[in-house]
Amino acid sequence: MPIKLIKRLSNEFEKTDESLYCTALEDVAKKSNKSTKSSVESSPTNGELTTASTDLSLVAQQIETKLNLGNHEVPGNVEDFDKENWNDIFQASHYAMDIFNYLKTREAQFKIPDYMGRQICLSHWMRSLLVDWMVEVQESFELNHETLYLGVKLVDMYLSKMTVGKETLQLVGAAAMFVASKYDERIPPMIDDFLYICGRCIHKARAYPDGNKPCAKITMPVLTLARFILEYSLMDYATVSIRDSILAAASLFLALRMKHVSGWTPTLEFYTGYKLEEIIPVVHLLNDGIHKTPKSQLMTVLNKYSHKIFLK
């Protein structure tokens, strides 16, 4: 299945952060100027403002009480990372644990079965080639790592439900990356970019992203190694049915051990929700995977992480 990547076309990618933020600030300024006069003319009385503020506060309290948000006990031997950022509105520390636990409960609803038996035209090797190409797409478009992981998840979700011919497999991969970029990218690639890559595109698969919250103060070399292990495992069909959060935890543990940093600490156990014995089988699977002799057709991940940006 010959797959060739062509560079993106979108001029949208040429926008700089500075130009984007300036545009946003200009828009805000214009809207503020236009609304100043009308807001003065139609401003509510102090009594109305107080009542509205009280009502909103009451609703917020009711929601927080009903959902039990922010109420989690941290054992004495666990470092409370959420408390360290408690007053940082961008960290959402009050809700971080609740969000993470919610996402973990969602995983059970999107477990992928062993689907290759129903794919009469596909093989494990063809899936590996597709994932290798998707990594190249992610690198070329400079997409987030999360976009790649979700894209591969979408592919597996789709293949577990639909029978696909080998001539349309790359099309499924492009569609998955296009949909995933809508979830995780601030400026996702335009449809023309994917059309240019594959000639045409489809929009038929749907799933929900899963995530993991940072749960350890680790150095960038360790984090990058964990990402490499996790990304390299995407091509291994044996990992398809394993929960994403377990794969992430096992990758982090393996990286910590390889860098001689630490073992599975009480803090890691608390924030991931997994004991060491629960992730050890996956750790062995990942370790076996990175020690296999790489095939010449599947070198994109290795070449990507050989770059100095990824600490070689």
Band of the pLDDT at 40, cuts 50, 70, 90? very low
Q: Do domains 112-198 and 220-310 have the same CATH topology?
A: yes
State the Cα–Cα distance between residues 158 and 152, nearest whole angstrom. 10
pLDDT recorded at residue 58: 76
* Distance of alpha carbon 67 from alpha carbon 42, whole angstroms: 36
Per-residue model confidence (pLDDT) at position 27: 47
Distance of alpha carbon 64 from alpha carbon 215, whole angstroms:
24
pLDDT per residue as tens digits for the range 290-304:
999 888 888 999 889
Superfamily of domain 112-198: Cyclin-like (1.10.472.10)
Give the separation between CA 227 and CA 304, rounded to whole angstroms. 12
Contacts of 282 by beta carbon, 8 Å cutoff, 6+ apart: 239, 242, 246, 247, 249, 250
The Cα 85–Cα 198 span in angstroms is 44
Domain 220-310, second-level architecture: Orthogonal Bundle (1.10)
Q: What separation, in Å, do the N-terminal and C-terminal C-alpha atoms of the chain show?
A: 29
Cβ-defined contacts of 73-81 (< 8 Å, 24+):
74/270, 75/266, 75/270, 77/266, 77/267, 78/266, 78/267, 78/270, 78/271, 79/267, 81/214, 81/215, 81/217, 81/267, 81/271
- Burial tier of 202 (Cβ tally within 10 Å: 0-12, 13-18, 19+): middle
As a whole number of Å, the CA-based R_g of the chain is: 23
pLDDT confidence bin for 96, thresholds 50/70/90 = confident
Q: Where are the domains of the chain?
A: 112-198, 220-310
Pick the more confident residue, 47 or 240. 240
Q: Taking the model in full, what pTM does it have?
A: 0.67
